[in-house]
Amino acid sequence: MNPVLQLADVTRVHGTGAGEVHALRGISFAAHAGELVAVMGPSGSGKSTLLTIAGGLDQPTAGAVRVEGTDLVGLGQQERARMRRTSIGYVFQGFNLIPALTAAENVALPRELDGVPVRTAREEALRALEEVGIADLAERFPDDMSGGQQQRVAIARAVVGERRLILADEPTGALDTETGEGILELLRARCDAGAAGVLVTHEARHAAWADRVVFLRDGVVVDETGTDRVEGLTERADA
Amino acid sequence: MSVKHALLALLEQQPMYGYQLRAEFERRTGTAWPLNVGQVYTTLTRLERDGLAVADGEDDEGHVVYRITDGGRDEVATWFTTPVARTQPPRDELAIKLALAVTVPGVDVGTVIQQQRSATMASLQDYTRLKRRAAEAADRAERADLAWSLVLDSLVFGAEAEIRWLDHCEARLRRAAVEQGREGARPVEDVPVPRPARGSR
């Protein structure tokens, strides 16, 4: 099966000459449909750069970035923006909602920008809000919501329109443990329903929700957890 | 682990025979610490020797049933009200391994740390998966399910703490290597960095 996201030998260099910084050094990485992949590493290891490049927000210095088979690197700016609206959902630590718009309007916005009729966009937005468990808050403004509720809106905005790649950069960073787990549950459910997810986090207990955990150091993938299970415990659960 | 006290606590609820005790122990703690039946019978023999339980005849199928004594009840009460001592922490193989890895020349400490981190992370993923299943089954909320879910939480916290400690060790080692490099004792390039993975899909 072709991966939803594929990075092939991606390098990202910031600056030139003596001030050159190699954020990514030839990274190859893939996320398949139905799979949630966590990326861990200390600050400066390149994990956020990897996510911004995967989301088309930044361009690699070398290498290919394919989302559902389309190489983002070869696209013009407008086409790349279109990919971001139709195929890629982004969830940030700081939620990044538009304060002047209600929850439903925030979620409908990417669909409207994509030319979907206002009414259809709104219906889709309400469905997405229902999926994340806050249909009753559709007419609230971000300032009148808790952090956990705002992040749910952000997730609804990231998944609206059946986008198949969800990229989350420390999505639980600003939330307490329990609220954070609720957000991970949503990401997990979305991936179980067929999306591919990439979760950047420095918290082991959050990364543990993923199918695979990739470890970055100095812009290189140094390791990755396999699919070995803890034997006795898994037997019990499967019994 | 105090098998002795765990079995006594179970006997306090009702008289039981060996296999029953084992099944009951595992129902409450999961198979995190499997108990073989030989261990159960050895423990029962000791409990009887110490006057904490007595063999109290056989059931219809010929199983020897054990019953707790008054002395046994006191022992259980004391167990529950006394904190588990940390004055003599259990021997920690990983801590010992790292202590030796950083002192024995020629060991690639960075790789030792990363391999352990991956392995512990994989266990943490398993525990998390089991917790999700336990949560899904929470409708049938029995006390034993709660007990199992708390045991899982303990394993999650333990694995998380281990990963955090490994991150800390790695950061300390890198800093130490940089400082040594500055003093000219060791070039900075010797900073222990794990080897890149051969290939990732």
Shared domain for B115 and B41, answered yes or no, is no
Q: Which residues of B touch A226 (CB under 8 A)?
A: 118, 122
Domain-ending residue, one of B59, B81, B103:
B81
Confidence of residue B52 (pLDDT cuts 50, 70, 90): very high
Q: Is the pLDDT of residue A238 over 80?
A: no
In the predicted structure, residue A15 carries a pLDDT above the cut 90: no
> Cα torsion for A142, A143, A144, A149, to the nearest 10°?
50
Q: Do residues B103 and B70 both lie within one domain? A: no
State how far residue A238 is from chain B, nearest Cα, in angstroms.
10
Do B7 and B46 fall within a single domain?
yes
Q: Do residues B113 and B149 share a domain?
A: yes
Name the residue facing A218 among B31, B123, B193 (closest C-beta): B193
Residue of A nearest to B152 (CA): A233
Task: Identify whether the C-beta of residue A205 lies closer than 8 Å to the C-beta of residue B124.
Answer: yes
Residue pair A166/A198 in contact (Cβ under 8 Å)? The answer is: yes
Q: What Å distances lie between residue A98 and A1, A90, A157, B175, CA to CA?
A: 37, 14, 11, 42
Q: How many domains does chain B have?
A: 2
A43 — pLDDT class (breaks 50, 70, 90): confident
Which runs of E-coded beta strand occur in B23-108? 53-58, 64-68
Polymer length of chain B: 201
Interface test with B, best of A28, A35, A192, A205 (most B CBs within 10 A): A205
Residue A54 has pLDDT above 90, yes or no: yes
Do residues B105 and B182 both lie within one domain? Answer: yes
- Answer yes or no: do B52 and B115 share one domain: no
Look at residues B46, B81, B116 and tell me which one is the last residue of a structural domain: B81
Please compute, for residue A103, the number of CA atoms within 13 A of its CA located in the half-sphere on the CB side.
29
As a whole number of angstroms, the distance between CA B92 and CA B101 comes to: 14
Residue B187, amino acid:
P
Q: What residues form DSSP beta bridges with A198?
A: A37, A167
Q: Which of A31-40, A73-82, A125-134, B191-200 has the lowest mean pLDDT?
A: B191-200
Residue B86 inside a domain? The answer is: no
A171-222 tens-digit pLDDT: 888 788 778 888 898 899 999 999 999 999 988 999 999 999 999 999 999 8
A44/B53: higher pLDDT: B53
Is the model's pLDDT at A20 over the cut of 80?
A: yes
- The token duo for A18 is 């003596």
| Domain match, B183 and B130 both | yes
Q: How many CB atoms lie within 10 A of CB A101?
A: 15
Percent of chain A scored above 90 by pLDDT? 59
Which residues of A are less than 8 Å from B168 in CB distance? none
A174 close to A153: Cβ distance less than 8 angstroms: no
On whether both B53 and B97 belong to a single domain, the answer is no
Q: Is the CB of B196 less than 8 angstroms away from the CB of A210?
A: no
Q: What is the rounded distance in angstroms from the CA atom of residue A228 to the CA atom of residue A212?
A: 11
Instruction: Give the start-end residues of each E strand in A72-204.
Output: 88-91, 165-169, 196-200
How much is the ipTM here?
0.80
Rounded to the nearest angstrom, the minimum Cα separation between B183 and chain A is: 24
The string of pLDDT tens digits covering residues B78-134 is: 999 888 877 666 778 899 899 999 988 888 999 999 999 999 999 999 999 988 887
Query: Do the domain assignments include residue B200?
Result: no
Predicted confidence at residue B34, as pLDDT, reads 84
Same domain, B75 and B101: no
Per residue in A143-155, pLDDT (tens digit) is 999 999 999 999 9
Q: Does A230 touch chain B (CB under 8 A)?
A: yes
Q: Name every residue whose Cβ is closer than 8 Å to that of residue B129 and which is 6 or more positions away in sequence.
A: A237
Q: If you average pLDDT over every residue of chain B, what do you get? A: 84
Q: What is the pLDDT of residue A236?
A: 39
HSE toward the beta carbon, residue A177, CA cutoff 13 A: 4
Among A15-19, A86-90, B1-5, B188-192, which is the least confidently predicted range?
B188-192
| Shortest CA gap B195–chain A (Å) | 6
Q: Could you give the 3-state DSSP secondary structure of residue A165?
A: strand
The pLDDT of A40-69, averaged and rounded, is 92
Say what the pLDDT of residue B143 is. 59
Termini Cα distance of chain B = 41
The residue range of the domain holding B41 is: 3-81
Q: Is residue B198 part of a domain?
A: no
Residue at which a domain ends, from B27, B48, B81: B81
Q: Is residue B58 part of a domain?
A: yes
Place B70 in a pLDDT band, splitting at 50, 70 and 90: very high
Q: Do residues B148 and B64 both lie within one domain?
A: no
State the helix-helix crossing angle for B143-182 and B109-136, rounded to 10 degrees: 160
Q: Which residues of A touch B31 (CB under 8 A)?
A: 232-233, 235-236
Same domain, B59 and B110: no
Cα–Cα distance for residue pair A119/A110, rounded to 1 Å: 13
Q: Are residues B131 and B59 in the same domain?
A: no
Residue B195 lies in a domain: no
CATH (domain of B58): 1.10.10.10
